[in-house]
Amino acid sequence: MAVDSFSARAGKISANIGAHYVDNARKLPWRAPPGGDLPDPYHVWLSEIMLQQTTVGAVKSYFELFTRRWPTVESLARAKEADVLAAWAGLGYYARARNLHKCAVHVTERLGGNFPRNESELLKLPGVGAYTAAAIAAIAFGERAVVVDANIERLVARLFAIGTPLPGGKAEIRAAMDAITPSRGAGDFAQACMDMGATICTSKNPKCDICPVQNQCAAYASGAMESYPVKQPKKAKPVRRARFFWIERQDRILLATRPPSGMLGGMRALPDDGWAAGNDGHARPPFPGAWQVHDNIVQHSFTHFSLEVDLAVYQDRKIVTDMTSDLWWPLADIADAGLPTLYTKVVEWKLKEEI
């Protein structure tokens, strides 16, 4: 690596990444081509909310479905929250879907359907944190904002061999990203860095031989590319236990609507025993009877804990329950219930069990 001043190196990194993007930008349904008109802020916002903790591959079909069904922020605001949650089913982190709807209503009713263009105003919107505000400001409005997602974090930590373990090293990484972000075209630059992190400077086996900033990369010069970003050793996740209840009557099962706030809030689900991130469920069935219990049939990983699920089954043609507010759902149409992935896994297990 040639010996340059910090600012000269930052300038070269910025120029090389920008030039590489012109011919190598990923074509994604929410993007505008490099150097062209700015994309629709509604599309940028929707895609950024969907992309939080989720891969581009998983998001594409959901983005297309949402924009077909709700082509504008106003149409999304008019939708029922239950329909938005059902359309989101399978994408995970369901608080995002509730905030998505809340934010659409806010933008439509209070801001005349226009997203704010600067970071501090964007930060006031439901579900929009520091990263998302910076990304929308830069990509949708061309504002100079410093955008750091997980891909960019890895790329920048390697370029500058930032050795402070995360999360403590985030401030240094952000300062380095600030140094290489150009004053014009910050949105294209952020997307160029995202693409670099996703396709070249990958977590394992980075493709340094085709990297446009190989000559400026401190990690490459040291041969320790995969040592960055440095992370604190992970703590083991706690394991929680839950029992779900399969209550079947004449080819229908009883579904419940989860409480509006908290884990998977407002989603349709199987009735359960009150499990939560901080406690096991009580395992008691909702009414006495001949329950058949299947132990630990599904394991599911959340960000901060793992869940082991038992299934208690009650099948009777003449069940009478007082759960009048809940839903008897035809088993043949269970795929349309919009169940979150955790519950879908349990339903699939049960249906397979019966074959």
Is the C-alpha dihedral spanning 95, 96, 99, 101 positive or negative?
A: negative
Among candidate residues 211, 201, 283, 188, the one with its CA nearest the CA of residue 241: 283
Query: Shortest gap between Cβ of 207 and ligand SF4 (angstroms)?
Result: 6
Q: Choose one: 27-35, 69-77, 211-219, 269-277; the region binding ligand SF4 (CB under 6 A).
A: 211-219
Among candidate residues 27, 10, 30, 7, the one with its CA nearest the CA of residue 18: 10
> At 300, which helix (H) or strand (E)?
strand 292-301
Among candidate residues 10, 39, 237, the one with its CA nearest the CA of residue 135: 39
Query: Between residues 18 and 206, which has the closer beta carbon with respect to ligand SF4?
Result: 206
Query: Shortest gap between Cβ of 56 and ligand SF4 (angstroms)?
Result: 18
Q: Does 32 bind ligand SF4 (CB under 6 A)?
A: no
Q: Does 82 bind ligand SF4 (CB under 6 A)?
A: no
The contact mask relative to ligand SF4 for 92-121 (x = CB under 6 A, - = no) is ------------------------------
* 292-301/239-249 β-pairing: unpaired
Q: Does 211 bind ligand SF4 (CB under 6 A)?
A: yes
308 included as an active-site residue? no
Query: Between residues 194 and 298, which has the closer beta carbon with respect to ligand SF4?
Result: 194
Q: Choose one: 212-220, 239-247, 280-288, 331-339; the region binding ligand SF4 (CB under 6 A).
A: 212-220
Q: Is 53 left (phi over 0), alpha (psi -120 to 50) or beta?
A: left
Query: Between residues 23 and 322, which has the closer beta carbon with respect to ligand SF4?
Result: 23
Residues 181-210 binding ligand SF4 (CB under 6 A) are: 200-201, 206-208
Q: Does 264 bind ligand SF4 (CB under 6 A)?
A: no
Give the number of residues in contact with ligand SF4, rule: CB under 6 A.
15
- Residue selected from 72, 75, 214, 306 as contacting ligand SF4 according to rule CB under 6 A: 214
Among candidate residues 203, 204, 199, the one with its CA nearest the CA of residue 56: 199
Supply 65's token pair.
């479905």
Query: Shortest gap between Cβ of 270 and ligand SF4 (angstroms)?
Result: 45
Among candidate residues 241, 245, 194, the one with its CA nearest the CA of residue 48: 194
- 10 Å CB burial of residue 79 (0-12, 13-18, 19+) is middle
Residues 151-180 binding ligand SF4 (CB under 6 A) are: 155, 158-159
User: What single-letter DSSP state applies at residue 38?
Assistant: P
Helix residue ranges, H only, the chain: 6-24, 41-51, 56-69, 73-78, 81-88, 95-110, 119-122, 130-141, 150-159, 170-180, 186-199, 218-222, 341-354
Q: Between the CA of residue 105 and those of 41, 245, 316, what are the distances in Å?
A: 15, 35, 43
Query: Shortest gap between Cβ of 15 and ligand SF4 (angstroms)?
Result: 15
Query: Shortest gap between Cβ of 224 and ligand SF4 (angstroms)?
Result: 9
**β-strand partners of 252:** 249, 330
Q: What amino acid is encoded at 259 in this protein?
A: P
Query: Between residues 147 and 311, which has the closer beta carbon with respect to ligand SF4?
Result: 147
Query: Between residues 173 and 242, which has the closer beta carbon with respect to ligand SF4?
Result: 173
Catalytic residue among 48, 109, 119, 354: 48
- Residue selected from 220, 245, 275, 343 as contacting ligand SF4 according to rule CB under 6 A: 220
Query: Shortest gap between Cβ of 190 and ligand SF4 (angstroms)?
Result: 16
Query: Between residues 103 and 201, which has the closer beta carbon with respect to ligand SF4?
Result: 201
Contacts with ligand SF4, residue ranges (CB under 6 A)? 155, 158-159, 200-201, 206-208, 211, 213-214, 217, 219-220, 225
Q: Which residues are catalytic?
A: 48
